[in-house]
Amino acid sequence: MLKYFSVDSTKITCWINSRGFGDHEKSMLFIHGSGGEHSLWTFQYARLNKNFNIIAVDLPGHGSSEGSGESDVNVYGPWVKRLLDVLQLKNVIIAGHSLGAAIALTFAADFGSMINGVVSVGGGLKMPVNPAIFELLKKDPETAFELMCKFSLAKENRIKLAEPLKKSMAAANIEALYNDLVACDKMDLTDKVKKVNLPSLIMCGEEDKMTPPQLSQDIAANIKGSKTCFIKGAGHMVMMERPEEFNNALITFAQSFS
């Protein structure tokens, strides 16, 4: 179910377990990527809510959350800390996708003592954005959405998932999406991730065109003891494209440490 919290006097929307929220020993906080919102984690809710307290957040300016978003990944680390302070959950694993992966890794580097583990999904140390996307967002947002959706999915998954993904993206606040892409374009986590010192899982779809697997390999190479998981038949939206494999990998990771 959706629940609303106040962070920095701003209404923030989260999807949480409808029953038993807070009853489980471990919690998972899911952070979406550029132009996204909590529903992009729908395939994780039913499978994982029996094992974990689930929180899928709408970042400021996204989904039903107020605000306009940020254009700097480093601003989000302290913001996630304040969100966790409000949620008051323990034994948290943070899983972030794309921009959300960068946010999760930044948080893990700066506030790692607050969480048990971190999962990067389709991330990168750097995530440069094609300048043409910025221009399209200004002149023809619909075409920009179509291109982003097309390249976010493996070819075999486009018929099934392109429309729901496009619908989600088309509902995005354009200003927030633009800020998201600016944040991706200018970030460099090369030094930051070397500070991550907790269980880490680096995941990516083998057919990811937006953030190719090599980018995840680069993250893993800079985090001592990190594990990797590359899923066949999936592109950038791996958690939607291959949910069973994705969810099983999360469960295995969570069970690998206490």
pLDDT in tens, the chain (258 residues): 999 999 999 999 999 997 767 778 899 999 999 999 999 999 998 889 888 999 999 999 999 999 988 999 999 999 999 999 999 988 999 999 999 999 999 999 999 999 999 999 999 999 999 999 999 999 998 899 889 999 999 999 999 999 889 888 878 889 999 999 999 999 999 999 999 999 999 999 999 999 999 999 999 999 999 999 999 999 999 999 999 999 999 999 999 986
The fold for domain 2-255 equals Rossmann fold (3.40.50)
Report domain extents, the chain. Answer: 2-255
Q: Are 102 and 184 in contact (CB under 8 A)?
A: yes
Which tokens is 189 given? 């986590």
pTM assigned to the model: 0.97
Greatest Cα-to-Cα distance within the chain, rounded to the nearest angstrom: 50
Q: Which amino acid is at 111?
A: F
